[in-house]
């Protein structure tokens, strides 16, 4: 009986819910003394309401009948520096997120309780902004056509206030990325469920200023990006990282704008497109094409082309494509053709046409006649001064590729007006005819000159960076496929020059420290290079435009083995590129498979610890054939090391291994170098020292950023006791490896040479390695 008397009240009962509500109503002031009590009461209310919504209708009926939500509003008003706002907003967010029934959501949004909480004068500090925005986001997630009206303040037939939207916009440019993302998601939720009255409110000043502010912020980000690209004091590696981070932010903003346009509401689309044209696109294109004043745009030409290319790729749309195409091609159109294009644009995209007219781009005057335009295009000097052609024929290779890329994006879209499409189209361009005798295909008219400019980039001496050569090849293949005919004699000679240069660069790698990885590099890079060549303009990341510009600036010098390996891979890529271009010129198609003997390509991924031939860095090897040495490391002092020469068929290498701590007959591999790539030479200042080149890392294990000092050139000298002593300097000395063969028997280093020769025939291995040139070049030469 007594146990029944003292039985506790069921925590998830209506009785307990009433008790919690009564306790909360007794609170007259919230301060530091009762803060924890109030938080506990609020938590209990949220738990019970969530339970009642799912399991017990009587609890939720009491919640509605006695307007419990008003207590949350009251608690906010009576709090005094108690920091109660954050937990209150958090519990409200949880409660709203977990409501399932339409009735529950409808009640919560009624009676202006949510609007009162949204409009409360919070003092944002610390994490309160994050809790507040999370609360707004929770409300936004429950919006639909029926509940939206409960959060509006309407006068007559017009919305005069929308607290959820208005307060959210105040955080649109907050420094916290999570808050920015939440605001973007919330606004998209509102746009997707809005009606005519809400759209009218959103797209009317001063609320519509959000769209202009958003585009202005985007413009500032492009300016900051431009400053990074041309920052002469920043190291190249750091600069590329900063540029990547900034472009990620920009692309994120562009996709948000694309999502807004994807809603398909004409007023929203007009607000976004007009601001993009007025604030960003036209002010960039005017100075870029030498057609007017800068209108405040200070972007360099390369960043300007990147900006427009990003906008077209990410946002796109008929209005955007046609507006940009009209400005780009304006200097090359006869007046009659301009009127025809502008007339069609006025019918479909009047807002774009009106902005272009205001900016001085579109004009109804007929002062420029078609014949006059033709005279401009036939004069070489004038060609270099007319619009986008000034950049296509620029000596700056980054501008050449950036401007061509913009034309390619326009050429491959299906949203372009027929006349601009004819002027830029890549498909079947050889069959296109002039309209009114005034225009034809812009690329087709100047094809030979454009191909010549691209081939000069590939054939230049000294050669441009690998990056520039590779992207130039992508443009060349595009144009070669589209023009449908071979190169002129002069351009064909340029290509042959470039082809021979690529062969010579790769041949030099046969004497380098990574010659044994060349076949594997061919196998790995062949498919990658082919896929990249087939990439469509719409899918190609315009980031390469900025990367090209940065690569032409001062780069960080480094002689580590990683960069030697990267140079070898790059030379393989460029040679594969030339093979594919050669096939495109002769056959009109790409090669399917590399012309290499697959049996000659060793798969270094299959490593066996017991096999010295396939030993990898850090693996165990037998020390039976090793030569005991003493190595002096710069940071680890003198250590006992074994030098192990190994060979298999036409390849050989030298392994440096340290004795295993628990097995005297086995060692741990510390460094590996190909025998023919050791490049030994006697030190000029120390006749008993021998310089060798030793690799200290495995490419498969170092795909991420490598340390700058991971590789050195060991210095070997012969001591009186017959031991070899090594020293590791920071930089490798790339020396002539044939030097030792010319030394006489009296040379003190002959003992080292003969010792290696007894283990494996060095000269034979070297000559066989040199013969690898035959199977690499035999077919393609």
Q: Which domains does the chain have, with CATH numbers?
A: 6-204 (1.25.10), 619-697+719-733 (2.30.29.30)
Q: Around Cβ 594, how many Cβ atoms within 10 Å?
A: 20
The DSSP H or E segment spanning 344 is helix 335-348
DSSP 464: P
pLDDT at residue 555 in the model: 44
The CA distance from 594 to 597, in Å, is 9
pLDDT at residue 386 in the model: 63
Residues of the chain with pLDDT below 70 are 1-9, 290-297, 333-386, 425-440, 551-561, 594-614, 629-638, 647-652, 675-683, 686-698, 700-781
pLDDT at residue 436 in the model: 42
Whole-number Cα distances in Å, 545 to 43, 245, 356, 468: 54, 16, 27, 10
Q: Around Cβ 242, how many Cβ atoms within 10 Å?
A: 16
Taking a C-beta distance cutoff of 8 angstroms, is the pair 294, 286 a contact? yes
The CA distance from 766 to 738, in Å, is 9
The CA distance from 519 to 535, in Å, is 25
pLDDT at residue 97 in the model: 93
Judged by DSSP in three states, 681 sits in strand
Place of tokens 């390695």: 769
pLDDT at residue 367 in the model: 38
Place of tokens 């069959």: 431
The CA distance from 234 to 246, in Å, is 15
Q: What are phi and psi of 716, to 5 degrees?
A: -110, 130
pLDDT at residue 128 in the model: 94
Estimate the crossing angle of helix 466-483 against helix 543-551, to 10 degrees: 130
Burial 327-344 (b: 16+ CB within 10 A, else e): bbbbbbbbbebbebbbee
From the number of C-beta atoms within 10 Å of its C-beta (0-12, 13-18, 19+), residue 727 rates as middle
Q: What are phi and psi of 57, to 5 degrees?
A: -60, -30
Q: Where are the alpha helices (DSSP H) in 280-334?
A: 282-288, 301-310, 318-329
List the one residue out of 613, 772, 618, 612 whose CA is nearest residue 698. Answer: 618
pLDDT at residue 419 in the model: 78
Angle, CA 654 vertex, CA 653 and CA 657 arms, to 5°:
135
């Amino acid at each position: 009986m007594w146990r029944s008397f003292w039985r506790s009240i069921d925590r998830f009962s209506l009785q307990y819910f009433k008790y919690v509500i009564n306790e909360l109503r007794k609170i007259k002031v919230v301060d530091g003394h009762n803060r924890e009590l109030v938080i506990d009461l609020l938590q209990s209310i949220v738990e019970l309401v969530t339970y009642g919504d799912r399991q017990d209708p009587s609890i939720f009926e009491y919640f509605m009948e006695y307007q419990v939500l008003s207590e949350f509003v009251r608690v906010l008003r009576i709090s005094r520096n108690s920091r109660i706002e954050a937990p209150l907003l958090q519990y409200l967010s949880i409660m709203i997120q977990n409501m399932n029934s339409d009735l529950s959501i409808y009640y919560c949004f009624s009676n202006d309780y949510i609007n009162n909480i949204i409009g409360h004068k919070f003092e944002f500090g610390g994490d309160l902004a994050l809790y507040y925005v999370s609360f707004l986001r929770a409300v936004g997630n429950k919006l639909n056509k029926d509940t939206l009206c409960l959060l509006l303040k309407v006068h007559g037939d017009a919305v005069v206030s929308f607290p959820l939207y208005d307060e959210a916009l105040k955080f649109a440019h907050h420094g916290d990325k999570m808050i920015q993302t939440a605001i973007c998601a919330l606004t998209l939720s509102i746009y997707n469920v809005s009606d005519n009255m809400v759209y009218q409110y959103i797209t009317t000043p001063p609320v519509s200023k959000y769209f202009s502010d958003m585009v202005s912020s985007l413009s500032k980000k492009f300016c900051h990006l431009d400053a990074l690209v041309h920052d002469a004091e920043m190291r190249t590696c750091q600069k590329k990282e900063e540029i990547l981070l900034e472009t990620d932010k920009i692309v994120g903003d562009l996709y948000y704008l694309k999502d807004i346009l994807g809603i398909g509401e004409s007023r929203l689309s007009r607000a976004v497109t007009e601001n993009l044209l007025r604030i960003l696109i036209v002010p960039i294109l005017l100075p870029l094409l030498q057609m007017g004043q800068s209108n405040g745009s200070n972007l360099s030409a390369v960043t300007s082309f990147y900006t427009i290319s990003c906008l077209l790729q990410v946002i796109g749309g008929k209005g955007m494509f046609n507006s940009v195409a009209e400005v780009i091609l304006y200097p090359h159109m006869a007046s009659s053709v301009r009127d025809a294009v502008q007339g069609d644009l006025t019918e479909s995209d009047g807002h774009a046409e009106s902005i272009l007219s205001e900016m001085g781009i579109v004009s109804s005057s007929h002062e420029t006649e078609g014949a006059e335009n033709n005279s401009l295009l036939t004069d070489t000097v004038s060609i270099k001064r007319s619009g986008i052609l000034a950049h296509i024929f620029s000596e700056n290779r980054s501008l050449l590729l950036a401007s061509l890329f913009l034309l390619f994006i326009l050429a491959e879209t299906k949203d372009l007006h027929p006349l601009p499409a004819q002027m830029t189209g890549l498909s079947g361009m050889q069959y296109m005819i002039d309209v009114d005798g005034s225009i034809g295909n812009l690329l087709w008219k100047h094809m030979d000159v454009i191909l010549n400019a691209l081939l000069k980039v590939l054939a230049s001496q000294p050669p441009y960076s690998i990056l520039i050569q590779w992207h130039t090849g992508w443009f060349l293949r595009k144009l070669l496929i589209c023009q449908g005919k071979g190169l002129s004699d002069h351009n064909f000679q340029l290509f042959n020059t470039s082809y021979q240069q690529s062969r010579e660069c790769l041949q030099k790698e046969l004497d380098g420290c990574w010659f044994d990885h060349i076949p594997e590099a061919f196998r790995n890079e062949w498919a990658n290079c082919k896929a990249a060549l087939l990439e469509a303009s719409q899918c190609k990341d315009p980031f390469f435009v900025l990367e090209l510009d940065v690569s032409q600036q001062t780069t960080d010098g480094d002689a580590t083995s990683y960069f030697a390996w990267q140079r070898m891979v790059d030379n393989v890529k460029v040679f594969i590129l030339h093979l594919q271009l050669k096939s495109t010129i002769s056959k009109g198609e790409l090669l399917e498979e590399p012309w290499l003997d697959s049996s000659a390509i060793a798969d270094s991924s299959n490593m066996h610890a017991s096999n010295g031939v396939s030993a990898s860095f850090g693996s165990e090897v037998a020390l039976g054939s090793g030569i005991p040495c003493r190595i002096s490391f710069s940071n680890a002092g003198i250590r006992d090391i074994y030098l192990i020469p190994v060979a298999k068929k036409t390849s050989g290498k030298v392994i440096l291994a340290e004795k295993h701590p628990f097995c005297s007959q086995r060692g741990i591999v510390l460094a590996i170098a190909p025998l023919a790539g050791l490049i030994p030479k006697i030190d000029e200042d120390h006749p008993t020292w021998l310089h060798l080149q030793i690799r200290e890392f495995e490419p498969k294990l170092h795909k991420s950023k490598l340390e700058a000092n991971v590789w050195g050139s060991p210095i070997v000298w012969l001591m009186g006791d017959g031991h070899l002593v090594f020293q590791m300097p920071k930089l490798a000395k790339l020396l002539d490896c044939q030097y030792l063969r010319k030394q006489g028997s009296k040379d003190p280093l002959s003992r080292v040479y003969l010792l290696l020769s007894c283990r494996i025939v060095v000269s034979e291995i070297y000559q066989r390695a040199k013969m690898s040139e035959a199977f690499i070049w035999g077919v393609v030469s």
